[in-house]
Amino acid sequence: MAPPPALLLTRLMLRDFRSYPALTTVFRSRIVVVSGENGVGKTNLLEAISLLGPGRGLRGARMADCARQEGEGPRPWAVAGRFDSTAFQEFDIGTGTPEGGPIERRVFRLDGAPVRNQAELAERVALVWLTPQMDRLFQDGAGDRRRFLDRLVWALEPHHAREVAAYENAMAQRNRLLAQERRGEGRVDPAWLSALEDAMARHGVAAAAARRDLVARLNGALSGGITGTFPAARLDLQCSAATALDAAPALAVEDGLRATWAASRGRDAAAGATLEGPHRADLLFTHGPKNLPAALCSTGEQKALLIAVVLAHAGLIAAARGFAPLLLLDEVAAHLDAPRREALFAALAALPAQAFLTGTDAGIFAPLHGTAQGFRASPGGLVPDNDLPVS
């Protein structure tokens, strides 16, 4: 059995969040199972937990969409969690609609005080999730896999999101200026474009380096058998900037990107987009034992590969930051056969992390009897599942 997690969510409070008018729930176990029919709010519960960390949560939803819809329209919403932490002892995080503010905005509070930036949250809380929508990761575009990778990097490097956002902001400004010039709305000052390309190079190389580092660390963990009986995935980052870092220092790679963008302004203006750079990176998965691209694997194998990556990532966070992330696993047992489900439950029991699992069939969680705390979800509420008593 693993040692107690260094980070635990012990209480969750919701007000007018999605399908929940009001909810206060106490968690007393390191593995929590929520079962129930489709549409009763299981994913909403995980989304609420995911919003207690930095970012836009597991759905990436607009803030107005998080509000419960009733009567004349959406209502102000709030999510609050109490955490027990080895490093910070007990602390509270709250988020939701600002008092008297627009429903589209969202604010954070840490122990009742306003949060200056989301990096403050990232220093205390890390969350990693798997959702059914992520089962399409191997068939979707490069952008989806890149965002998946960036979330993994962010959990280990809280400032990574700032680098990515700064890069994308500078690139968007460059694209607008090139579009104005293409439309004949005036010649753009080359020095202005150079300044934007300089910012893109600095922030883009920093982001590419962080992605490259995490992929290398994940491959090391996966090849070391950290995921138990789950097949080892082999990850490959396709990114010209990351590849260049294998042979040259960061400053030289930045210089190369600046030169590339300066020479391609005409082409990028015609295309209406910046055609080269870290924003074109892709993350490829391969089934290690079979040496087979994940896109060609079975649905069950793809699910197992994703689980392997998430478990390896959780182990890296625990080693690097002193606490493992909260694992939010929505319908995680879907597409897994019985031996793989048992392997997953055993891996979660051995990992020093708190895990929240959902599923429509409560019976598949029977092996967790005596280990997990169980709830059954109903519209707007949770009730204890007596078949999974508090461990």
Task: Enter the tokens of residue 20.
Answer: 């929940």
Nearest to 347 by CA among 361, 335, 336: 336
36 labelled ligand-binding: yes
290 is in an annotated binding site: no
Say whether 40 counts as a known binding-site residue.
yes
Token output for 27? 């968690």
In this structure, what token pair is assigned to residue 279?
């924003």
260 labelled binding-site residue: no
Which strand ranges, in their side-by-side order, compose the sheet holding 31-35?
127-130, 326-329, 355-359, 31-35, 373-378, 381-384
- Where do we find the tokens 């490093």? 87
CB count within 10 Å of CB 296 equals: 12
In the chain, the amino acid numbered 380 is G
Which phi and psi (to 5°) does residue 140 adopt? -75, 180
**CB proximity list for 98: less than 8 A, separation 6 or greater:** 105, 106, 107
SS3 track for 185-243? CCCCCHHHHHHHHHHHHHHHHHHHHHHHHHHHHHHHHHHCCCCCCCCCEEEEEECHHHH
Consult the annotation and say whether 123 binds a ligand: no
Residues making up the annotated binding site are 36-43
Residues making up the annotated binding site for ATP are 36-43
